Amino acid sequence: MIILIWECSATMLVVKRLGLIEYKKCWELQKETQQALMRGKGEDTLYLCEHTPVVTTGTRGLKGGLLVSEEELAARGIALVKSDRGGDITYHGPGQLVVYPVIDLRKIKKDVGWYIRGLENVVVNALYMVNIKGVTLAGLTGVWTYKDLKYNNWGQNDCRQNGGGYEGFSKIASIGIRISRWCTMHGIALNVLDQREGFSCIDPCGLKGASVTSVEDFADGITVEKMAELMVESFREEFGFKEWREECVLAGT
């Protein structure tokens, strides 16, 4: 378990639960909050939601990561959206917890790499709370688990130090962000319930042949709501938010 607590001037975090919401609608909410932060008038906000089925591409574009035609995607009821986040192609759908921090790094630490590693730590520490060993891999962003469950114990080292490659691992959380004037948006997608059907349309994050897993593969009876609580706790600890308040915003789809 990794916990890094940073003293920062941003002590209040607003947590907003949006429920099930279309990707584009949530994207607009993030942009509004980010622009307010850049003007010095907004509040550091953590959005939590699930999305209606959608495949999104980042600034790297498709690059062959879509394994079916756009027509087939539409026939399956899955939207396709080009996003302004970093990274490649990914899938979002019900049962996946999406966590979007829209925060001002000028009050915390102006370091993009540090921030991304911090988001990975948020996931690793939340998984630890349900007895799952999440690992990071050298040269790759996101959090993975071992395919062979005998290695899912805390005697293993962080694989970021043990060479590259993702063979033998399954991805449980993806990370893609955008930072403008040190104010963040986009964030983490954690597979809580099984997402294999949706991910079967793509190579996750453009990684050919990569497999995905979910929290429920390891923890019986887990819910999106429970993991949301743990992710909020882990995020606050990681980034040093001493105070927080929660707002339930049922934005709808």
Side-chain-facing half-sphere of 15: CA atoms under 13 Å: 19
- The count of other CB atoms within 10 Å of the CB of residue 185 is 24
- The mean-pLDDT minimum among 3-7, 185-189, 239-243 falls in 3-7
pLDDT tens per residue, range 106-122: 999 999 999 999 999 99
Whole-angstrom distance, CA of residue 77 vs CA of residue 52: 9
Spatial contact of 104 and 10, defined as CB atoms under 8 Å apart: yes
Provide the annotated active-site residues.
205
pLDDT tens per residue, range 121-161: 999 999 999 999 999 988 899 999 987 766 666 555 555 54
Q: Say what the pTM is.
A: 0.90
Spatial contact of 121 and 4, defined as CB atoms under 8 Å apart: yes
pLDDT tens per residue, range 55-111: 999 887 666 789 999 999 999 999 999 999 998 899 999 999 999 999 999 999 999
Scored b (16 or more CB within 10 A) or e, 43-80 reads bbbbbbbbbbbbbbbbeeebeebbeeeeeebeeeebbe
The domain locations on the chain are 13-248
Run of H or E residues at 11: none
Q: Which CATH architecture has domain 13-248?
A: 2-Layer Sandwich (3.30)
Spatial contact of 40 and 106, defined as CB atoms under 8 Å apart: no
- pLDDT at residue 207, as a whole number: 79
